[in-house]
Structure 1
Amino acid sequence: MRRLLFLFLSFLFTLHAAAATYYVTVAGLGGEPDYEQRFTANAKDLDKVFRGITGAHVVTLTGAQATAAQLRAVLSNVAQQATATDDFVLVLIGHGSFDGTEYKFNLVGPDLTAAEIAAMCDRIPSKRQLVVDTTSSSGGAVAALERSGRVVIAATKSGTEKNATVFARYFVESLQDSSADVDKNESLTAAEAYTYASRKTAAFYESQKRLATEHAVFNDTGHGEAVRDAGNGQGQLMASFTLLRYGAAQKAASDPAKQSLLAKKEELEQKIDVLKYNKAAMDPAEYKQQLTAALLELARVQGELDK
């Protein structure tokens, strides 16, 4: 009996180990060139990381491809291909809106509501799912997205936190910085990524001496209010949801040249955020000159990182 039990458990482990992960990333409508570039760059960084994962199925929608019709088609395809043992990850980057009742993810053309996105995810058979909504007003989407077996992470605590967020940048960075792997087991969980991004976001506002306009929250029990910290049952699924494992595919993260480029990229993105914050108090010509210079340098650094 012990041998049969051992063989059965080994079989289950093999099934889980062989399971694939489907990663879908969408960079929504930017509205302005700097937002457009930032959202696209974040999505491309995620795409690069996810494509380095063995067994990953990766789709990334940016620019003109970031439409409701395209996203429906992609998620419909995932629903047909994925199995119950596969993991599913959806990352939304960009702007969101909330009218007091309904959240919408801003896309090229018609927007999608949180309820519509949830319905598409519900048709995907994966029992373990992760939805990371890094947009403004994303807290207003949690109630519609939450479901048993699904981790929902939002960049804002409510739909009323409507300013553009920086959470996406640090969520992406958590997948590139080995220090995010707190327990040093060469495996990054959704909980570790969330903690890293939340801490970095708070530090950004403190460093700029600005009142924080975003406070990330999550829900992984499928019911109740979203929370900022683990406890009372919240956080268990998130802590067990592996986003990636370190190894040969993550060599770039330990490459000193790449690290310096990543640091430069973060510095430039922070500079752009500060410029936008101080726009009203700046001479329009000076603002445009500094913003253009920062955007061009950011594009150059991004090009070096993409090599």
Structure 2
Amino acid sequence: MKTLLLLLIGAIPILQAEEKRALLIVVGEPGNPLYQDEFKRQAKAWQDLAAKAKMDTNTVGLGNEPADGDRPDLEKAITALPKAGGDLWLVWIGHGTFDGRSAKFNLRGPDIEATSIAELLKPFQRRLIVLNLFSASGPFIEPLAGKNRVIVSANRGGERNYSRLGEKLADSLVSADADLDLDGSLSLLEAVLHASAATKAFYDDAQRVVSEHAVIEDNGDGRATGTDKFKGLRAEGPAPDGALAREIHFLGDSADPLSPEARDERTKLEAEIEALRQRKKALKEDDYYAELETLMRRMAKLYGK
């Protein structure tokens, strides 16, 4: 039975040649020369990675500040992006604010609200990967979450202190140590978990209280899962996130060969498989593997196997 399941899993193709991907880097108001240098370093790291990945790349927030600030250029840049196609990555580097009601990303000039960003992203049909690498980014999760989207925020809830996740994530994307399952391919989930661990290590080494806790949302329910809830590449809880982020790779192919309808069915199957895994201890071994085989056959059928 176990051998048959391994054959079924191996029959499911995960990666295929993909459509052209794109990256938009948004650099916010530094507010301090030290932050300015760091934000530029992060932006350069993402630009270099994008060049290796042969992605279309645009950056907002560097260079001379426009007379009316960066918000008009940012809105134009997002609006001009193709609404369909390969993955669209949006990397936000800087500071944020949250007053208990309104969450904002700090730009040079007028800031932009999380709700305004959500409106700008509404027309997009392509898969979105939104990396909120800034302070007070927890409240951005709910308005930006949706189907076929991965939202990562450096902070949860009302955490407002400067975030160091952004300092670590670009480095994690090229780190061999971040390949947690040792399969020779680095997923977005692995990179985020590695960067989160590196961020915690910074606070531990400095003997400081950890003031930021990264979260990830990729099942569309608007409720994020903390990176500290993951054991390996699986999260605990009734509706865990992480399945979509496991399929996405910045360097290398990450296209999804399935139709939107098939993706919906796959999401349901993944939820059933996870629910079955949670019940494993309560089932007889043969019953568990019989149910798992049925689910894996349905999954393989989605890929024409």
CA offset digits 1:58-96 (Å, max 9, x no partner): 112233377111111111111xx352x411110101000
Any idea what SS the aligned residue of 2:57 has? strand
* Aligned partner (choices 65, 70, 76) of residue 73 of structure 1: 76
| Structure 2 Cα separation of the partners of residues 46 and 224 of structure 1 | 27
In structure 2, what is the equivalent of residue 303 of structure 1? Answer: none
Q: CA deviation at 1:120?
A: 1.4
The one-letter code sitting in structure 2 at the alignment partner of 1:129 is L
Is 1:105 the counterpart of 2:108? The answer is: no
In structure 2, what is the equivalent of residue 136 of structure 1? Answer: 135
Any idea what SS the aligned residue of 1:31 has? coil
User: Structure 2 matches for 1:234-273, cutoff 5 A?
Assistant: 234-245=241-252
Q: List 4+ stretches of structure 1 deviating above 6 A.
A: none
| Structure 2 Cα separation of the partners of residues 25 and 187 of structure 1 | 24
8 Å contact kept, 1:30–1:95: yes
CA offset digits 1:108-163 (Å, max 9, x no partner): 1111111111221222220x2110101110001111111111111000011x2111
The one-letter code sitting in structure 1 at the alignment partner of 2:193 is T
In structure 1, what is the equivalent of residue 200 of structure 2? Answer: 202
CA offset digits 1:38-63 (Å, max 9, x no partner): 11111111111111113x11112233
Is 1:32 the counterpart of 2:28? The answer is: no
Any idea what SS the aligned residue of 1:89 has? strand
**Between the two proteins, what is the percent identity of the paired residues?**
31
User: Structure 2 matches for 1:89-238, cutoff 5 A?
Assistant: 89-126=89-126, 128-158=127-157, 160-228=158-226, 229=229, 230-231=235-236, 232-238=239-245
The one-letter code sitting in structure 2 at the alignment partner of 1:218 is I
Compared CA separation, residues 209 and 233, structure 1 to 2 (3 A): closer
| Structure 2 Cα separation of the partners of residues 235 and 18 of structure 1 | 21
Q: CA deviation at 1:245?
A: 2.7
Q: Which consecutive unaligned segments of at least 5 residues does structure 1 have?
A: 1-11, 247-307
The one-letter code sitting in structure 1 at the alignment partner of 2:77 is V
In structure 2, what is the equivalent of residue 255 of structure 1? Answer: none
In structure 2, what is the equivalent of residue 290 of structure 1? Answer: none
Q: CA deviation at 1:200?
A: 0.4
In structure 1, what is the equivalent of residue 302 of structure 2? Answer: none
In structure 2, what is the equivalent of residue 282 of structure 1? Answer: none
In structure 2, what is the equivalent of residue 270 of structure 1? Answer: none
Any idea what SS the aligned residue of 1:92 has? strand
| Structure 1 Cα separation of the partners of residues 240 and 118 of structure 2 | 22
Q: Which consecutive unaligned segments of at least 5 residues does structure 2 have?
A: 1-12, 230-234, 254-305
The one-letter code sitting in structure 1 at the alignment partner of 2:246 is A
| Structure 1 Cα separation of the partners of residues 184 and 14 of structure 2 | 19
8 Å contact kept, 1:136–1:161: yes
Q: TM-score, structure 2 length as denominator?
A: 0.70
8 Å contact kept, 1:40–1:62: no
| Structure 2 Cα separation of the partners of residues 129 and 13 of structure 1 | 18
Q: CA deviation at 1:184?
A: 3.6
Any idea what SS the aligned residue of 2:90 has? strand
Q: TM-score, structure 1 length as denominator?
A: 0.70
More helix by share: 1
